[in-house]
Structure 1
Amino acid sequence: MSLAADFMNISLIIAFVSIALAQIMAMIRLVVGPDTGDRILALDTMVVNAIGLIVLLGITQGTRIYFEASMIIAMLGFVSTVAYARFVLRGDIIE
């Protein structure tokens, strides 16, 4: 293997570990969070971390299908965060 491939593998491992740790910390905030707002932000952070993990998986395997899946998850995550925040603030989602 070349030196560039070694650096790429090491950087991917570091990225996976970093995002996994961020996901664990967001899960802790989701469970322990004192306010509902903290829990909403933790869920949104978990969606962003999941997107990062999916993109890293796509880079590792060298396929493009994971990038399309990450875009769909990003759209669903945004809509669900907005809907949950509206439900917390107003008590209903659809006016």
Structure 2
Amino acid sequence: RFVSLKAGRVNSRVGPGVNYSVDWMYMKPGLPMEIIQEFDTWRRVRDADGSEGWINQSLLSGRRTAIVAPWQRGKEARINLLDDPQKDAGIVAIIEPGAMGTIKSCDGQ
């Protein structure tokens, strides 16, 4: 399942606990993460670049966010956001790779 970071400063550790060393510090609230394992109050997560680490659940939010085509960051590319999943759909926005946003369902939730 996917979550996002609550705070603007979140430590990612090499193991599930404060006694494990910090491997990475995230400085971007709302950054999307995929939970790949759970242990007590700790979640092993993977970021959009594929880096993995353990973060305490209190620093994670159920708010769904996304990064647009992170594998194309830094390239001269634009991604068309369509209003429908059809090949003839209208373009709602043109987005640069690496842009981050919040995901909302069609009913506005």
The two structures have a TM-score, normalised by structure 1, of: 0.23
Larger % of strand: which? 2
Structure with higher Rg: it is: 1
State TM-score, norm by structure 2. Answer: 0.21
